Structure 1
Amino acid sequence: MRIFFTGLLLIATAFGASAQQTSETLTLDGLLEAVREGRVIEKKENTQRLKRFRQEESSRQEMLDNIITEQTRQETLSKQQETEFDVNEEEIAELEEKLGERMGSLKELFGVLQQVASDSQAQFHGSLTQLDYPERNTFLVDFAGRMGQANRLPALAEIEKVWFELQQEMVESGRIVTSTRNIIDRSGQEVEAQVTRVGLFNVVADGKYLQYIPETGRLVEFARQPDSRYLQGPKALAANDSGAFVFAIDPVRGQLLAILTQAPNLSERIGQGGVIGYIIIGLGIFGVLLAVSRFVILMLESQRIRKQLGELSSPRDDNALGRILLAYKSLTRLNVETLELKMGESVLKEVPRITRYLSLLKIIAAVAPLLGLLGTVTGMIVTFQAITLFGAGDPRLMAGGISQALITTVLGLSVAIPVLLLHNVVQSRARSITDILQHEAVAVVAHQAEQAQQQ
């Protein structure tokens, strides 16, 4: 079969060679000659290949011998290292046993020292005293790492240094230290200022609170300060006040202060109510001014009426009672029944002037909480829309929206309560004046009836 394929190969080769000779025609003799030439060429190539293989045989054998030698050497070395490893393992076990016997209860010391050093390092990392003693963290980290290995007893000086750092932190918690440091102001610029550290609680400068960033070791001014009542202490320190003053401290090292700076002030709270909130406030201001003005007018009217009560014989037209008495003088010729009707008409003319705008005050007191409820419902709709878009995973999103929604309710009640109280006060004053007018009108009619009976 091999001869057959070889023959085909030679035929193809001969055919290709003969194809190049366009002038020569392919015959059986030519094909046989081509096959013969191909076999001669193949034999020659095989002879050369065999010769080359025999020449390389010696070098291949040499490489094989080297590899076998190296393998034998490596196996011997591996056995030696395995034996040495077993010996070292036994020695390590014996040494560890001896170390354990010698250490005894000191192993607990390593654990305690490591824990104390780690806890102290974590505590000092966020402490304000890190501003004055930044190098102690490096020692504590290194000391805790060595105690974790438990292969060397700590030096007495190292243990004393850990104790010293703890003692120093306790001492610094009761000190007020002032120094010159670089701070980052609200505009983002780095400026130099007199910084006062109040124990482990607060850092202030120029009457303002500062925030300590442990990651960068920088002091940053808060974007906004808390309410003015919390700034009395920092301002007293900035003014070098030597007397006793109130100073608000943060026992959780700035966390409560950060929350206070985020709390909205009064104007921001009012702004959260939106347009409805401003409408309620405007309505409340109008209602209060109206109630106060009506109360003042009624007080003046009441004084004039009291003065008129002392001078019934000389009525004046600057008060309601005087105008009723003047009307009575012009109606003395009428009979009692007609006089009674005319006097009632005179009183009814004066009552609207006295009770003017009282119904408007009552309407304001009723509408204000309804507007607050409207604002609350509108805010809740916005809150639920935000929950639909962003989900309910963040409780602060819901709490903030509900807080803003309830602001209008608070504003509505804040307006309705004082307006309602003022309405009652003004109404009481108006009722007392009206009672006086009705009483005097009835008294005049009764006097007229008495005179008619005597006649």
Structure 2
Amino acid sequence: MKMKTLVAALCLFSLPFTASATSTLVDTTQEAQRIQGAHNVQRESGFKQTEQSIRAQRDALFKQRVQLQTETDQLSQTFSKNENNLATLEEQLRLETGSLGELFGVVRQAAKDLNQELEISVTMVDRAKYAPVVDQIVDAKALPSMVQLNGLWLGMVEQIEASAQLASVSVPFINAEGHQANINAYRLGSMGLIGEQGYLAWNGDRIVAKPYLKQPANGPVLSGLASMSQVGIMSVVVDPSRGIMLEQLANAPELKDRLEHGGVVGKVILGLLAIGAIITLFRGSKLFIVRQKIKAQLKRPNEPGNNPLGRILNVYSLGVNQADLNIKEQPRSVEALELRLLEAIVDEQQELEKGLSMLKLLAALAPMLGLLGTVTGMIETFQVITQFGNGDPKVMAGGISTALVTTVLGLISAMPLLLAHNILSTQADAVRNILEKQGISLVAEQAEKVGSAA
């Protein structure tokens, strides 16, 4: 009971405070609603202005799009019209030009040919006035002009005239030491240049001349041409290839180079040839002297000398004199005298044929050594092919050269050795025949004496 009374009292006490708080809250809420309403009105006004601005921009863009579309349609029509006009003009150009395209190809090809001629021809020294025009035609991408066509024609005429001219010119020259200077030379048409050193190699890229490594035999020089021009008669050795053959002269191996290619086997073959030559000269001179002495001895048979026939006569004379001085002894028989003479002839024959067997041996060994060098060179060649393949012929050239050179050296050595052996053998046989004939005549004479004495 007391609790209820207390709660009721508290409620009555708090009632004024609640009413006051409620009134304050209502006022605050109304004020907030008024502020929010004003703010909403302001925002709606801003939204309306933004909407109007966007609609204005949209209308402007729509208008601009329509304008651009119109311009695009107009440009498309203009482009299509221009395309049609261009196609019509191209067809008209093709029809009007006709064969000018082919003419341009012919002109350009002619210009290229003339340009290549000018690059290598010695006429560039003093007759290259229209070379720039020719270069322009070669590098051109369009039809040549009349000036260029006229220059091409004049350039051809210039080269034709220059090819028939013999003229003195001044050319830049590089000597063997690398020094460059201008020298006087003589131009033989388009064939070549001649200086004091002989023929000059012309380098069209560097516009300079240099001497060839090797000049042809009886080649012309500048001073000789000057003297011949004064006389009015000119005869010179001309290279029709305009320098190619002259350049190959330097690559042509000389005898020394070929002998070096023979290697050790080639040197051995040459050594055998030298030994054979010495034997040939010695034995040939000795046989010649012997034949001359025998000819002189035949004219004086009663005066035996120091020669093969004289020694045969000495053997005969010794046998006859012994028989005459020793009366009590039995005279030497014909058979014994024949054997003594045969013995002397055999001794002389051995002396005459001394060294001939060596010549025959050397003649047989030379081609065999050549064959040995051939086999050795081919073995070397096959080894090189095994290591490097056969794509480059220069790699195999060394072995093949050795093989061929030794074969040639062997044959060259064998032929004169065989010839010398044959000649010397013939001379020795001739001397031996003379000795045998004289010996037979002496035996026959002695037989006649014995028969008459009996």
Mapped to 1, the partners of 2:416 and 2:427 lie a distance apart of 17
1:346 to 344, 350, 365: 344
Mapped to 1, the partners of 2:129 and 2:76 lie a distance apart of 47
2:261 to 266, 272, 276: 272
Residues 130 and 85 (structure 1), Cα distance of their counterparts in 2 relative to 1, 3 Å cut: farther
Deviation per CA, 1:266-302: give whole Å up to 9, x if none. Answer: 1111111122222222221221232122122111111
Q: CA RMSD in A?
A: 3.0
Question: What is the DSSP-based 3-state SS (H/G/I as helix, E as strand, rest coil) of the residue aligned with 1:430?
Answer: helix
Bigger shift: residues 352-361 or 232-241: 232-241
Whether the 8 Å contact between 2:269 and 2:370 is mirrored in structure 1 is: yes
**Runs of 5+ consecutive residues of structure 1 not aligned to the other structure:** 1-57
Residues 384 and 76 (structure 1), Cα distance of their counterparts in 2 relative to 1, 3 Å cut: farther
Q: What letter corresponds to residue 361 of structure 2 in structure 1?
A: I
Question: What is the DSSP-based 3-state SS (H/G/I as helix, E as strand, rest coil) of the residue aligned with 1:330?
Answer: helix
Q: How does 1:374-385 map to 2 (within 5 A)?
A: 374-385=372-383
1:247 Cα deviation after fit: 3.2
Question: What is the DSSP-based 3-state SS (H/G/I as helix, E as strand, rest coil) of the residue aligned with 1:356?
Answer: coil
Question: What is the DSSP-based 3-state SS (H/G/I as helix, E as strand, rest coil) of the residue aligned with 2:268?
Answer: helix
Q: Match of 1:31?
A: none
Q: Match of 1:23?
A: none
1:426 Cα deviation after fit: 0.9
Q: Match of 1:129?
A: 123
Q: What letter corresponds to residue 317 of structure 2 in structure 1?
A: K
Q: Match of 2:145?
A: 154
1:165 Cα deviation after fit: 1.1
Mapped to 1, the partners of 2:240 and 2:119 lie a distance apart of 16
Mapped to 2, the partners of 1:74 and 1:453 lie a distance apart of 159
Residues 199 and 398 (structure 1), Cα distance of their counterparts in 2 relative to 1, 3 Å cut: farther
Q: Given the alignment of the two structures, is residue 260 of structure 1 paired with residue 249 of structure 2, yes or no?
A: yes
Q: How does 1:8-407 map to 2 (within 5 A)?
A: 83-134=77-128, 136-146=130-140, 149-150=142-143, 154-155=145-146, 157-222=147-212, 224-226=213-215, 228-229=216-217, 231-234=218-221, 237=224, 240-242=227-229, 244=233, 247-316=236-305, 318-332=306-320, 333=323, 334-407=332-405
Deviation per CA, 1:337-379: give whole Å up to 9, x if none. Answer: 1111111111112111111111111111111111222222222
Q: What letter corresponds to residue 300 of structure 2 in structure 1?
A: E
Q: What letter corresponds to residue 233 of structure 1 in structure 2?
A: P
Mapped to 2, the partners of 1:421 and 1:288 lie a distance apart of 11
Whether the 8 Å contact between 1:125 and 1:137 is mirrored in structure 2 is: no
Question: What is the DSSP-based 3-state SS (H/G/I as helix, E as strand, rest coil) of the residue aligned with 1:249?
Answer: coil
Mapped to 2, the partners of 1:375 and 1:144 lie a distance apart of 56
Mapped to 2, the partners of 1:307 and 1:94 lie a distance apart of 117
Mapped to 2, the partners of 1:187 and 1:389 lie a distance apart of 39
Q: What letter corresponds to residue 134 of structure 2 in structure 1?
A: L
Number of aligned residue pairs = 383
Whether the 8 Å contact between 2:356 and 2:425 is mirrored in structure 1 is: yes
Whether the 8 Å contact between 1:212 and 1:218 is mirrored in structure 2 is: yes
Residues 405 and 76 (structure 1), Cα distance of their counterparts in 2 relative to 1, 3 Å cut: farther
Mapped to 1, the partners of 2:367 and 2:315 lie a distance apart of 45
2:422 to 418, 421, 424: 424
Mapped to 2, the partners of 1:170 and 1:96 lie a distance apart of 40
1:424 Cα deviation after fit: 0.7
Whether the 8 Å contact between 1:236 and 1:245 is mirrored in structure 2 is: no
Question: What is the DSSP-based 3-state SS (H/G/I as helix, E as strand, rest coil) of the residue aligned with 1:433?
Answer: helix
Bigger shift: residues 346-355 or 281-290: 281-290
Residues 255 and 283 (structure 1), Cα distance of their counterparts in 2 relative to 1, 3 Å cut: same
Mapped to 1, the partners of 2:403 and 2:70 lie a distance apart of 85
Residues 89 and 276 (structure 1), Cα distance of their counterparts in 2 relative to 1, 3 Å cut: same
1:451 Cα deviation after fit: 0.7
Deviation per CA, 1:287-346: give whole Å up to 9, x if none. Answer: 123212212211111111111112112212x21101110111111221111111111111
**Runs of 5+ consecutive residues of structure 2 not aligned to the other structure:** 1-49, 324-331
Mapped to 1, the partners of 2:156 and 2:120 lie a distance apart of 14
Residues 409 and 75 (structure 1), Cα distance of their counterparts in 2 relative to 1, 3 Å cut: farther
Residues 236 and 344 (structure 1), Cα distance of their counterparts in 2 relative to 1, 3 Å cut: farther
Whether the 8 Å contact between 1:276 and 1:375 is mirrored in structure 2 is: yes
Residues 280 and 201 (structure 1), Cα distance of their counterparts in 2 relative to 1, 3 Å cut: same
Mapped to 2, the partners of 1:245 and 1:422 lie a distance apart of 47
